């Protein structure tokens, strides 16, 4: 887990004033940044003796990357895992969870009071916890082990760049990645500006009225207990279309197939650029890969249906040849 590559981005932003790199979290074994959280939250409890391999059950409401990370780790440690998901969960994610050996419970009826699925899922988690002996709810939105797990993310970046990280751009959901990275920056005394990327219609950093969003990962409709807004020096809000444009640009210009929140980070970079002084180093955290978004972000029909004719926003065919880079030997970093 961890030890993910830091990739030099030489084509994404023509004439970038300094150095631009991306930490590709898809190279964790379960495919995302959440592998670190899943490992941290489970291993912490195994070490303290509260979770016993072969006997205990882990129960969590998650349908995405955390669920997959937990399924992998629980499978490895012979812990039973029950994932409570809802009717919006993709068939592919359910298939991945089952392939790892997790049990999947699908909640179909929204909470009658709010009309939302999340409270209904949390209620089902509470019922399962009450009826299952020796059960543990990691609760990623409140568990400090989720923050701590991401100290390693920033330590790896720091060590690879000898402390020269001027700007860090990352997506915020539970606030785990943000919290862990910001904590490491403080502990190590780094002079890094942290730019947190949130979704338009999310309530993480303000009192926006929550609204439906198409791209999962970053943003939330309820403010997580774990999130400390002061961990971010700057907050940038991006739309679903920004995510699509960021993803499509990244794959066109760098041949990196990344997930929706990576597109959010790439789009937000446009607004970080005016703050980057010549010679400075900027690191983007790319939380997952694009494989789980082939039916949405990378599907032309889906994009057309939701946003209309927008391909010109990432079509580089008119880009002058001098914006392409020469091949350089950058060695292995
Ligand atoms: N991007 C993706 C793809 C994610 O799955 C998550 C976790 N929900 C995030 C970003 C946000 O990370 P964090 O929960 O650490 O804030």
Both 137 and 162 in one domain: the answer is no
The packing angle between helices 151-161 and 176-188, to 10°, is 50
Tens-digit pLDDT profile for residues 214-259: 999 999 888 999 999 999 999 999 999 999 999 999 999 999 999 9
Mutate to test the pocket of ligand 1, among 27, 145, 173, 293 (most ligand atoms within 8 A of CB): 173
Mutate to test the pocket of ligand 1, among 26, 31, 32, 33 (most ligand atoms within 8 A of CB): 33
Question: Has residue 320 been placed in a domain?
Answer: no
User: How far does residue 321's CA lie from ligand 1's centre (Å)?
Assistant: 36
d(CA 210, CA 204): 10
Both 28 and 50 in one domain: the answer is no
Tens-digit pLDDT profile for residues 5-15: 999 999 999 99
- What residues does ligand 1 touch, defined as CB less than 6 Å away? 32-34, 64-65, 171-178, 217-218, 259, 261, 287-288
The pLDDT of residue 320 is 55
Reading the block at residue 104, the tokens are 């999947």
The pLDDT of residue 327 is 53
d(CA 39, CA 216): 21
Task: Report how far apart the first and last C-alpha atoms of the chain are (Å, whole number).
Answer: 18
pTM (two decimals): 0.93
User: How far does residue 218's CA lie from ligand 1's centre (Å)?
Assistant: 5
Residue 32 DSSP code: B
Question: Has residue 278 been placed in a domain?
Answer: yes
CATH of the domain at 198: 3.40.50.1100
Both 115 and 160 in one domain: the answer is no
Q: What is the DSSP string of 192-204?
A: PEEEEEEETT--T
Alpha carbon distances (Å) from 250 to 5, 116, 185, 279, 315: 16, 34, 27, 22, 11
* pLDDT band at residue 114 under the 50/70/90 scheme: confident
Both 170 and 270 in one domain: the answer is yes
Both 241 and 296 in one domain: the answer is yes
Q: Which of 273, 272, 266, 260 is nearest to 235 (CA)?
A: 272
Domain extent for 65: 34-143
Both 207 and 255 in one domain: the answer is yes
């Amino acid at each position: 887990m961890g030890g993910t590559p830091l990739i030099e981005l030489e084509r994404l932003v023509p004439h970038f004033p300094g150095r631009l790199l991306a930490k590709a979290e898809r190279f964790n074994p379960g495919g995302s940044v959440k592998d670190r959280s899943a490992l941290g939250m489970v291993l912490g409890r195994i070490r303290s003796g509260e979770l016993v391999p072969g006997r205990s059950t882990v129960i969590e409401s998650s349908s995405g990357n955390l669920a997959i990370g937990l399924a992998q780790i629980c499978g490895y440690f012979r812990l039973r895992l029950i994932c409570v998901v809802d009717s919006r969960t993709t068939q592919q994610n359910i298939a991945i969870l089952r392939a790892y050996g997790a049990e999947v419970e699908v909640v179909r009826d929204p909470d009658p009071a709010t009309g939302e699925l999340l409270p209904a899922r949390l209620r089902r988690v509470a019922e399962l916890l009450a009826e299952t002996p020796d059960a543990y709810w990691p609760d990623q939105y409140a568990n400090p082990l989720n923050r701590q797990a991401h100290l390693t993310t920033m330590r790896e970046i720091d060590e690879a760049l000898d402390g020269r990280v001027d700007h860090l751009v990352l997506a915020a959901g539970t606030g785990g990645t943000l919290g862990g990275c910001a904590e490491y920056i403080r502990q190590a005394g780094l002079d890094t500006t942290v730019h947190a990327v949130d979704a338009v219609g999310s309530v993480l950093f303000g009192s926006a009225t929550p609204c439906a969003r198409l791209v999962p990962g970053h943003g939330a409709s309820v403010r997580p207990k774990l999130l400390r807004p002061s961990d971010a020096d700057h907050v940038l809000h991006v739309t679903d279309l920004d995510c699509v444009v960021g993803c499509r640009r990244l794959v066109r210009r760098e041949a990196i197939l990344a997930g929706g929140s990576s597109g959010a980070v790439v789009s937000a970079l446009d607004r970080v650029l005016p703050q980057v002084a010549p010679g400075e180093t900027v690191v983007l955290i790319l939380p997952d890969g694009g494989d789980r978004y082939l039916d949405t972000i990378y599907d032309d029909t889906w994009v057309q249906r939701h946003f209309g004719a927008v391909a010109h926003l990432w079509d580089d065919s008119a880009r002058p040849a001098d914006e392409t880079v020469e091949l350089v030997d950058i060695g292995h970093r």
